[in-house]
A and B are shown apart, each in its own frame.
Chain A
């Protein structure tokens, strides 16, 4: 595994760049655990100090250190993205594999549900969700809501692969070896769809962080939890740009862009690496 990583890093420029960007973001996340002040507390430092040695990213109008604030915010945002991606991957895998393998009526029913979710407009639904929940709105609830919206495209993609796997001779071989449907899906077919899952995971993390930022900026989430989105929300509330406190906005925006690009590059390079064909070529077929 270590050799694979080393080879990827050496031979694949996208992977190297992506890794470096993601590592920077991850070190911010690690740093959050060493924050000298609790993330929610305000007026622990002098307000509106521009970036300097003592406060590398400056401080904001609420008397918080932007750097430490940022580390906690990116941790929460990343965690949120991963949670949404993880949950929605499970849904899309289950629906895609079962639908493609079983076929017939099950396939038709599952795919009509799938297509309904594809056409549902996500942003208005999430806005509505916020107005319904209001004060009960939490990080977990939003993650659940977004996970249940983020699976249908990928489920269709997985289904199309499963559909072709169903007619391969080795699937019949597995059936006549007495394997159960669960075994065939998880052990025979899953390895073929994993590349899709991996590359869509990165994209899905990006999608959910993006949507979370959008919702937070306009205040449609729990604004008490520090995330990249709520950071920008508070900066806007204090008209940071107008007041000339640009570092309050630039820091979270730059960090989130770095995360986006890093994850995207990783998804592109990993995809090439995990592709069964390239995998078989490395195994020496």
Chain B
């Protein structure tokens, strides 16, 4: 399979200084993952686990105090790292190759301009079509999304929440981008509408064959839309695998808890909440960031944070209690370096 996006050792912190009070919030810490072509990669996690920061970082939409401190982000359609592009190249890339569907679609659609203008602003420069041809293409696209062309002359506030989200999807897909980032696109919607919007996103993604990162805290949504799933906790990726494997057989204690506590209709067995609270990213716990709340915590968990280790094909977990293969991250890094050195030494001989 081809890789559409490859993120390596990404680290993005919020560095703030207010009247001499310096703070560092480690929202994204050492994240490595790759998204394959035509795949929907789901990211799940609680509020302030860093998933929104991650999204902002890979969309090159960071502003101070958020700073990228290290790592690389490579998209298949770019010949270099995302952060080596200049402002013009970024503008060129947005909407054409990389587009976003956000939770509040109001943020994308200008509230005081008609929907038509938003299409003209975002999509028209990339499609390079004459005005009438462009709007014919847009109308055809809206038609595919089962939207009436009349939405073009509406103001965003005249549309219902579900309608607006459909328009946002149309806007994000009209240039047929290779990569789509969806950040909680259905969270604010009612369940009936949510199902339709999800179906629409899935349909569009399949039709244009783009890859997608789909972020939501809601595992039931992931179960229905994501091919693979990454679970984030306190700025780190703690587990990754195919959605089916993770939902059927979660390995990390945090994932296990999340899945066990999902309420289902027809199920009245007592569900438990997790004790403790998500850690502050300004002062994360030592070692594994989950250890203060973990029922399986051991001594090593308090000392060194576990490397996200491949335990089976396509399955990575960062927890010492799951497998003896999981090692502290710094040792794993040293080991990697050593094998590399060995190989080069062998090559020289």
Contact = CB atoms under 8 A, between A and B. Distances in A.
Direct contact of A and B (CB under 8 A): yes
Contacts of A105: none
Contacts of A7: 19-20
Contact of A273 (B16, B19, B21, B282): B19
A284 interface: yes
Interface in B7-54: 16, 18-21, 23
B282 A4 contact: no
Interface residues of B, number: 7
A281 interface: yes
Contact of A284 (B19, B20, B23): B23
List of 3 A-B pairs having minimum Cβ-Cβ separation, nearest first:
A7-B19, A7-B20, A282-B18
A131 to B, nearest CB: 51
Interface in B242-299: 282
Contacts of A281: 16, 18
Contacts of A278: 18
Contact of B21 (A8, A10, A12, A282): A282
Interface in A47-63: none
Contacts of B20: 7, 10-11
A66 B176 CA distance: 79
A284 B283 CA distance: 11
B279 to A, nearest CB: 14
A282 to B, nearest CB: 5
Nearest to B17: A11
Contacts of A4: 19
Interface string A257-285: 00000000000000001000010011010
Most B CB contacts (10 A, CB to CB) among A8, A10, A284 go to A284
Interface string A1-18: 000100110111000000
A279 to B, nearest CB: 9
B191 to A, nearest CB: 24
A273 B23 CA distance: 17
B282 A282 contact: no
Nearest to B21: A282
Contacts of A12: 19
B282 A8 contact: no
Interface in A6-52: 7-8, 10-12
Nearest to B283: A284
Interface of A: 4, 7-8, 10-12, 273, 278, 281-282, 284
A10 B282 CA distance: 25
A133 to B, nearest CB: 48
A12 to B, nearest CB: 8
A182 B18 CA distance: 33
Contacts of B18: 278, 281-282
A78 B78 CA distance: 65
B23 to A, nearest CB: 7
Nearest to A280: B18
Contacts of A273: 19
A5 to B, nearest CB: 10
Contacts of A282: 18-19, 21
8 contacts: A7-B19, A7-B20, A11-B20, A273-B19, A281-B16, A281-B18, A282-B18, A284-B23
Nearest to B16: A281
Given A4-B19, A278-B18, 9 more contacts: A7-B20, A10-B20, A11-B19, A11-B20, A12-B19, A281-B16, A282-B18, A284-B21, A284-B282
B47 to A, nearest CB: 14
A130 B47 CA distance: 64
Contacts of B21: 282, 284
A238 B294 CA distance: 87
B155 to A, nearest CB: 24
A121 to B, nearest CB: 36
A11 B18 CA distance: 9
Nearest to A273: B19
Nearest to B25: A284
A140 B20 CA distance: 43
B27 to A, nearest CB: 14
A281 B16 CA distance: 9
A57 B20 CA distance: 42
A142 B108 CA distance: 55
A55 to B, nearest CB: 44
A218 to B, nearest CB: 45
Contacts of B16: 281
Contacts of B19: 4, 7-8, 11-12, 273, 282
Most A CB contacts (10 A, CB to CB) among B18, B19, B21, B282 go to B19
A35 B62 CA distance: 61
Nearest to B20: A7
A11 to B, nearest CB: 6
A4 B16 CA distance: 17
Nearest to A12: B19
A150 to B, nearest CB: 31
Nearest to A8: B19
A10 B23 CA distance: 18
